[in-house]
């Protein structure tokens, strides 16, 4: 295909953009234009809101929005909204929620809520001179940023600590202001970045005016960190081993518990397994983060760094069997917001928060950590008992049928047929071929 470039694309109307893309990259441009238009929101105002979330918007990309009911968390029942494109994730979360509902439910506790940001700078001067006047510098930084922090302070948040770090052993002349923040119910990215950029300006002026005007300080960058190990939540489940019951036919609860704990230990010691184990956790976490209009890339990045905090990438969850009590838990940093960002702008994110009872950011941290743990419990439970394919392929069956262009009637028939059979793409296609060739009696009404 010939490579295409364009100038002034962002200035084109939405239809103009669609046409350019359709005409330059597709063999059936008219059909593509109609297809993309068909996913526009019928309400123009709503569409305008959605378009404003990004740039060069052509259409909307749909993903399923589902719910997992029966989550008992700290004694309260939640129906958890989830946006996910993978079959069996919502079913798994729901099944884990139901399982733990009769075993004391889930527990969760926010351990800390600090967010972090950094001003990275280069300075050839003697860092000790800056250290000696750090109290003065700190006052100046706080004073200059006061117009930005005033509102957040009224809400109970603001700047917490400011530290000066000498990083010059790692990179010549490189230093840092490391700043911690409390951002209450907002994720706080814009607030933090605005404060940090202001700090950068003030720092530069302070050095010029009070320390050494001949050695100018260069701001390399000022930005929040998505690694927030002190914005941490713990979620856990526990019950006597006996109460785990008959998780899998023919497997004693004690055997199940030991096998489960071993599987979690393997994910602690082996990064290959840890990655997949944590991917399962993020199946649940990302789904709720998305459904509530939060930033799943930030959550993923921070979570994975936390998983590697001792130098090796490890499982985010842990399991222990002590005095015949089975305990399974997760500690995870989650920098979330329930105000600001898309949380109130995205029409469905707004409904998700309402569905959760309009939680504070800390309550949302608890719900999301629990959903990750539930997802992990369901995945590891399947892995150490039946294997995941049995359940997964059952849930995936409708995708296979859609892929094969099955009618509603054929779907009903095939789903019934595979009720107690192993699903595979080949088996479904063969059965459907047989059905279509008249080799089978068509049973659906
Ligand atoms: C699939 O999306 C997630 C799992 O692979 C997670 C795991 O292996 O623990 C089932």
**Ligand 1 near 273 CB (within 6 A):** no
User: Does residue 163 share a domain with residue 203?
Assistant: yes
Helices within 356-424 (DSSP H only): 361-384, 389-403, 408-417
User: Does residue 158 share a domain with residue 46?
Assistant: no
User: Does residue 403 share a domain with residue 347?
Assistant: no
Q: Is 181 within the bounds of a domain?
A: yes
331 belongs to the catalytic site: no
Q: Is 175 within the bounds of a domain?
A: yes
User: Does residue 290 share a domain with residue 257?
Assistant: yes
Q: Is the pLDDT of residue 442 over 60?
A: no
Q: Is 232 within the bounds of a domain?
A: no
| Active-site entry in 35, 86, 144, 258 | 86
Q: Is 148 helix (H, G, I), strand (E, B) or coil?
A: helix
User: Does residue 241 share a domain with residue 98?
Assistant: yes
Q: Is 257 helix (H, G, I), strand (E, B) or coil?
A: helix
User: Does residue 101 share a domain with residue 242?
Assistant: yes
Q: Is the pLDDT of residue 203 over 70?
A: yes
Q: Given 26, 43, 62, which residue is the final one in a domain? A: 62
- The 10 Å Cβ neighbour count of residue 261 is 19
**Ligand 1 near 284 CB (within 6 A):** no
> Chain-centre distance of CA 390, in angstroms?
27
- The 10 Å Cβ neighbour count of residue 445 is 6
Measured CA to CA in angstroms, residue 98 lies from 73, 104, 249, 382, 426 at distances of: 12, 11, 18, 15, 33
Q: Report the number of distinct structural domains present in the chain.
A: 4
What is the percentage of the chain residues whose pLDDT exceeds 70?
98
Residues contacting 211, CB < 8 A, separation 6+: 125, 129, 130, 133
Token look-up 């985010």 returns: 316
| Cα(186)–Cα(196) distance, integer angstroms | 17
- Which H/E stretch holds residue 387? none
Phi and psi for 440 in degrees, rounded to 5?
A: -130, 155
| Cα(107)–Cα(70) distance, integer angstroms | 14
Q: How far is the CA of 179 from the centre of ligand 1 (A)?
A: 36
| Cα(145)–Cα(162) distance, integer angstroms | 13
Model confidence pLDDT, tens digit, residues 306-320: 999 999 999 999 999
CB 351 within 8 A of CB 46: no
Model confidence pLDDT, tens digit, residues 388-419: 888 778 888 988 999 999 999 999 999 999 98
Tell me what pLDDT residue 215 has.
Answer: 87
Q: Is the dihedral of CA 264, 228, 94, 237 positive or negative?
A: positive
- Taking each continuous run of H as one helix and of E as one strand, the counts in the chain are 15, 10
User: Does residue 136 share a domain with residue 80?
Assistant: no
210 belongs to the catalytic site: no
Q: Is 161 within the bounds of a domain?
A: yes
- Provide the CATH number for the domain around residue 162: 3.30.70.420
Residue from 316, 377, 383 whose mutation best tests the ligand 1 pocket (most atoms within 8 A of CB): 383
Judged by phi (left if over 0) then psi (alpha if -120 to 50, else beta), residue 302 lies in alpha
Mean pLDDT across the chain:
95
Model confidence pLDDT, tens digit, residues 9-26: 999 999 999 999 999 999
Q: Is 371 within the bounds of a domain?
A: yes
Model confidence pLDDT, tens digit, residues 49-90: 999 999 999 999 999 999 999 999 999 999 999 999 999 999
| Cα(382)–Cα(91) distance, integer angstroms | 12
CB 181 within 8 A of CB 191: yes
Length of the chain equals: 445
392 belongs to the catalytic site: yes
**Ligand 1 near 84 CB (within 6 A):** no
Domain that holds residue 161: 115-224
Q: Is 230 within the bounds of a domain?
A: no
Q: At what angle do helices 271-291 and 361-384 cross, to 10 degrees?
A: 140
Which of ligand 1's atoms lies nearest the C-alpha of 86? 2
User: Does residue 260 share a domain with residue 193?
Assistant: no
**Ligand 1 near 279 CB (within 6 A):** yes
Q: At what angle do helices 361-384 and 89-101 cross, to 10 degrees?
A: 100
Q: Is 410 within the bounds of a domain?
A: yes
User: Does residue 369 share a domain with residue 274?
Assistant: yes
| Cα(368)–Cα(372) distance, integer angstroms | 6
Q: How far is the CA of 328 from the centre of ligand 1 (A)?
A: 17
Torsion of CA 171, 174, 177, 180, to 10 degrees: -20
Q: Is 231 within the bounds of a domain?
A: no
Confidence class for position 288, pLDDT limits 50, 70, 90? very high
Q: Is the pLDDT of residue 445 over 70?
A: no
Q: Given 190, 224, 258, which residue is the final one in a domain? A: 224
User: Does residue 208 share a domain with residue 184?
Assistant: yes
User: Does residue 194 share a domain with residue 173?
Assistant: yes
**Ligand 1 near 277 CB (within 6 A):** yes
Tell me what pLDDT residue 9 has.
Answer: 97
Model confidence pLDDT, tens digit, residues 84-136: 999 999 999 999 999 999 999 999 999 999 999 999 999 999 999 999 999 99
Model confidence pLDDT, tens digit, residues 205-258: 999 999 987 888 999 999 999 999 999 999 999 999 999 998 888 899 999 999
Residue from 277, 281, 372, 377 whose mutation best tests the ligand 1 pocket (most atoms within 8 A of CB): 277
User: Does residue 308 share a domain with residue 182?
Assistant: no
CA angle 161/162/165 to nearest 5° reads: 130
CB 222 within 8 A of CB 119: yes
279 belongs to the catalytic site: yes
């Amino acid at each position: 295909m010939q490579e295409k470039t364009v100038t002034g694309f962002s200035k084109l109307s939405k239809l103009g953009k669609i046409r350019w893309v359709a005409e330059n990259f597709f063999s059936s441009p008219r059909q593509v234009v109609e297809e993309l238009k068909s996913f526009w929101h019928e309400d123009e105002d709503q569409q305008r809101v959605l378009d404003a979330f990004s740039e060069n918007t052509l259409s909307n990309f749909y993903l399923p929005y589902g719910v997992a009911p029966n989550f008992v968390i700290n004694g309260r029942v939640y129906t958890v909204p989830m946006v996910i494109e993978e079959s069996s994730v919502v079913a798994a979360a729901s099944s884990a929620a139901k399982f733990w509902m009769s075993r004391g439910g889930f527990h969760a506790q926010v351990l800390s809520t600090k967010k972090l940001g950094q001003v990275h700078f280069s300075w050839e001067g003697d860092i000790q001179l800056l250290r000696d006047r750090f109290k003065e510098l700190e006052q100046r930084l706080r004073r200059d940023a006061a117009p930005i922090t005033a509102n957040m302070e009224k809400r109970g948040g603001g700047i917490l600590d400011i530290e000066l770090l000498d990083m010059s052993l790692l990179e010549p002349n490189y230093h840092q202001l490391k700043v911690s923040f409390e951002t209450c119910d907002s994720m706080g990215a814009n607030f933090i970045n605005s404060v940090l950029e202001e700090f950068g300006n003030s720092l530069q002026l302070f050095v010029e005016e009070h320390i050494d005007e001949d050695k100018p300080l260069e701001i390399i960058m000022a930005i929040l960190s998505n690694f927030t190990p002190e914005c941490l939540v713990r979620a856990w489940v526990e019950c006597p081993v006996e109460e785990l019951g008959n998780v899998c036919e023919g497997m004693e609860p004690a055997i199940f518990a030991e096998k489960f704990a071993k599987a979690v230990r393997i994910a602690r010691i082996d990064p290959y397994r840890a990655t997949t184990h944590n991917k399962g956790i993020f199946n649940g976490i990302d789904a709720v983060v998305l459904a509530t209009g939060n930033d799943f890339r930030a959550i993923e990045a921070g979570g994975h760094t936390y998983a590697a905090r001792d130098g090796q990438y490890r499982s985010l969850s842990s399991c222990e069997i002590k005095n015949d009590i089975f305990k399974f838990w997760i500690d995870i940093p989650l920098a979330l917001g329930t105000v600001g960002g898309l949380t109130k702008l995205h029409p469905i994110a707004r409904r998700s928060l309402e569905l959760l009872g309009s939680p504070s950011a800390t309550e949302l941290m608890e719900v999301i950590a629990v959903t990750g743990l539930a997802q992990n419990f369901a995945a590891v439970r399947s892995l150490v008992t039946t294997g995941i394919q049995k359940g997964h392929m059952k849930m995936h069956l409708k995708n296979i049928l859609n892929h094969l262009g099955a009618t509603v009637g054929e779907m009903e028939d095939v789903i019934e047929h595979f009720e107690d059979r192993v699903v595979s793409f080949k088996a479904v296609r063969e059965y459907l071929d047989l059905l279509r060739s008249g080799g089978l009696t068509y049973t659906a009404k």
